[in-house]
Amino acid sequence: MVGGLIQQKRYSLEEYFALEEKATEKHEYHNGKIIPMAGGSIPHSKIAVNITTALEIWIKSQKLPLIVLNSDTKIRIQDFNRNLYPDTLVVCEKVNYWNGRTDIITNPVLIFEVLSESTEHYDREDKFRMYRTLPSFKEYVLVNQFKPLINDYFLQNEKEGLWKITAADSLEAKIALPSIGFELLLADVYWMIPELQGELWEGN
């Protein structure tokens, strides 16, 4: 989630890194501007954990050379001079670090974003456009945190830049993730979400 500008002055990458190392909250770097990341809701956090867990269990069971990383990982978008935080991402075989920094990578294959009201347009439009400049990037998954609804964007024809869009909107449904050959069950994504199973979260 992206908040407001920290200030109007422009920062170098070195200043940004120095701030991030001391900060108690996350910030994205937008071509000289430092953007605080707003805290996420409980459903947002739980959905991201559920996605990571489902991926990890499947990858481990299949012994695949895939690496799942969470929202502590920054992605470097060189063409736009941005450092962005996704919610969850998958890398194939080997992580490519940017400039030797182990907190920034350049080669995600699959990226998940859990949508919020304040960032949905940014995630659907601006962030997706920036992610598409990464040669490794093949698939983008947008997850609604308020109801069972997932939209998947898969790069079907790289030469023509053609993305195939699919959707799933029930807990019984699965959404195919062609970039890694996995089908994600929506019941796993939305497991233990307060709005869907509120009685489990009321402390009774």
Distances (CA, A) of 179 to 51, 141, 153, 190: 16, 11, 10, 22
Task: Locate the domains of the chain by residue range.
Answer: 1-39, 40-201
CATH number of 40-201: 3.90.1570.10
Residue-wise pLDDT tens digits, 130-186:
999 999 999 999 999 999 999 999 999 999 999 999 999 999 999 999 999 999 999
Residue-wise pLDDT tens digits, 165-179:
999 999 999 999 999
- Residue 81 pLDDT grade (very low, low, confident, very high; cuts 50, 70, 90): very high
Closest Cα partner for 141 from 47, 61, 76, 7?
47
Would strands 82-84 and 74-77 be described as parallel, antiparallel, or unpaired?
antiparallel
Checking if the pLDDT of 39 tops 80, the result is no
Q: Is the dihedral of CA 94, 99, 103, 105 positive or negative?
A: negative
Would strands 182-185 and 101-105 be described as parallel, antiparallel, or unpaired?
unpaired
Q: What token pair was written down for 158?
A: 């790289």
Q: What percent of the chain has pLDDT over 90?
A: 79
The residue assigned the tokens 């867990």 is 53
What is the pTM (predicted TM-score) of this model? 0.89
What are φ and ψ of residue 147, in 5° steps?
Answer: -160, 160
SS3 track for 10-43? CCCHHHHHHHHHHCCCCEEEECCEEEEECCCCHH
Q: Which amino acid, residue 1?
A: M
Task: Give the separation between CA 92 and CA 109, rounded to whole angstroms.
Answer: 7
Q: Are 167 and 159 in contact (CB under 8 A)?
A: no
